[in-house]
Structure 1
């Protein structure tokens, strides 16, 4: 099968498409014929060699956590899924023609493989950081980097829970952020004052790692009310870096429920071929995204 790997840490150019042995489903796993794989910031952070404790790496390594496809092997002890089922979920080395998933759910009716591949990690992350930051219904949550995949999920989940959201994004994404139910404002010079004029902030999330931690702490008044998924230096300011996933199966179950109720939709901004994995990660790393980027297999 074809699979994207890297043999050294570095920029997008270290990614290579190679012929590799097919993986097989072990106990508690399913194997899928991949139809699409999600492109996440954690993918290029791992490729760069960033010290992410939740994702230890041995080289050579495959790439990717999220995928959607057709089940073609069912491991020992797995129930409720059969060969031929369409599923989406999380595993490893998903930029490939076949991958093994450790957590999955059936794809909701009407969802394409490309769309489904964009949900697993971002939904789990969104649910986790909302929980960890402790924001409650009736309070206001500030989201820095609101237009990306995790931001798109956070905005919609928070709205469904009765939380007011202020989202910062680029000028081109202001209407998009408003369309997801948030109060939108631009980042850049003077952004913190613009947020301050919009009202009191109870908690804040840094989803883009753009050097905003000090301002978020000032706006909330307490570093414990700020969570980041993007700034590895944030703990120096007393802010928690959230990088360890919670229950992915539970997150997928909640995502399916939200989608079924029409409360969660994350658009695919751009699709790439397996041969374009380097370009997909470079585009992800450049930021300014709206929704998700996926690799179509």
Structure 2
């Protein structure tokens, strides 16, 4: 099979096209022919030597968590996901091979039926970002009617799902973004959209019950400044790994609750998200699509940090 691999960490050009053996399906896994693969910031971090690169034990390595494709081998004859079934899901990089390849073997706990109403390219942009948003907003922050929630980087891959899910569950959402993203944020359900380049968000947003922090302190001390808008005993949830080294200490000093979050593949939640997609209550926005052989260009684009929604690789024909 064709795959984009890395033999070492470094700049985007370390991604090269390679011929590999197909993965072998074992136990309760399905073998999936990948039609499209999502590109996420964690992929870029790992490629550059951060992220989960320290856990890579064999080279060349295939990156990529998200995929949408078609089952070619099922675990057993009566399994619900039989050959021909369209599915989407997440791999477990680097414990297994990634989705920048024509085939993946993954646990059935990591895949669900693809939403019927969208393409494979769109579906490949959903799993990691939407599951992360669900964990941040629903599982941890427990979005509910009347809750005041601030979402930073609301137009990004995780952010655009976080805004929608928080709004769907009744929270009053304030989202930060660039000037060009304000209308987009409102279309996702944000009651208020703040241009971070024009105003200091803490001067205009009022008191919040929860902050979904998708930036940390890597830019303009966004994380630390967020502590000042939380009510006493409010909650801040930080997503990006390594984005705020003093997170716990700073939150404790401010008198608010704080936690990081790490996503896990979850077929049952993916199935719920698929239903929300098919019902029109949640949508995925694809910023750009690259062919598999142009994975380096996709990584360059995500490194620039101005993506609205998701970047996706087209791996094969549907």
TM over 0.5: yes
How many residues of Structure 1 are paired with residues of Structure 2 in the alignment?
A: 293
1:7-48 deviations in Å (ceiling 9; x for gaps): 212221211111111112211211111110001111111112
Aligned to 1:74: 74
1:162 aligns with 2:161: no
Q: Which runs of structure 2 are paired with 1:91-240 in the superposition (5 Å)?
A: 91=91, 92-102=97-107, 103-130=110-137, 131-182=139-190, 183-188=192-197, 190-193=199-202, 196-209=203-216, 210=219, 211-221=221-231, 225-230=235-240, 232-238=242-248, 239-240=258-259
Counterparts of 2:301 and 2:39 in 1: how far apart (Å)? 10
1:31-82 deviations in Å (ceiling 9; x for gaps): 11111000111111111222549x8322421110110111111135982011
Q: How far off its partner does 1:134 sit?
A: 4.3
Aligned to 1:44: 44
Q: How far off its partner does 1:146 sit?
A: 0.4
- After superposition, the Cα gap between the structure-2 partners of 1:271 and 1:223, relative to the gap in structure 1 and judged at 3 Å, is farther
Q: Secondary structure at the match of 2:204?
A: helix
Aligned to 2:252: none
Q: Secondary structure at the match of 1:84?
A: coil
Q: How far off its partner does 1:192 sit?
A: 2.4
Q: How far off its partner does 1:223 sit?
A: 8.5
Q: Secondary structure at the match of 2:99?
A: coil
Counterparts of 1:41 and 1:110 in 2: how far apart (Å)? 26
**Gaps (5+ residues) in structure 2?**
92-96, 249-257
**Conserved 8 A contact 1:138-1:164:** yes
Q: How far off its partner does 1:96 sit?
A: 0.7
- Give the TM-score normalised by structure 1: 0.91
Aligned to 2:255: none
Q: Secondary structure at the match of 1:88?
A: strand
Q: How far off its partner does 1:93 sit?
A: 1.1
- After superposition, the Cα gap between the structure-2 partners of 1:276 and 1:78, relative to the gap in structure 1 and judged at 3 Å, is farther
Counterparts of 1:205 and 1:62 in 2: how far apart (Å)? 30
1:128-172 deviations in Å (ceiling 9; x for gaps): 111223443311111110001211111111111000111111111
- After superposition, the Cα gap between the structure-2 partners of 1:139 and 1:77, relative to the gap in structure 1 and judged at 3 Å, is farther
Q: How far off its partner does 1:250 sit?
A: 2.3
**Cα-Cα RMSD:** 2.1
Q: Secondary structure at the match of 1:225?
A: strand
Q: Secondary structure at the match of 1:83?
A: coil
Q: How far off its partner does 1:216 sit?
A: 1.0
- Give the TM-score normalised by structure 2: 0.86
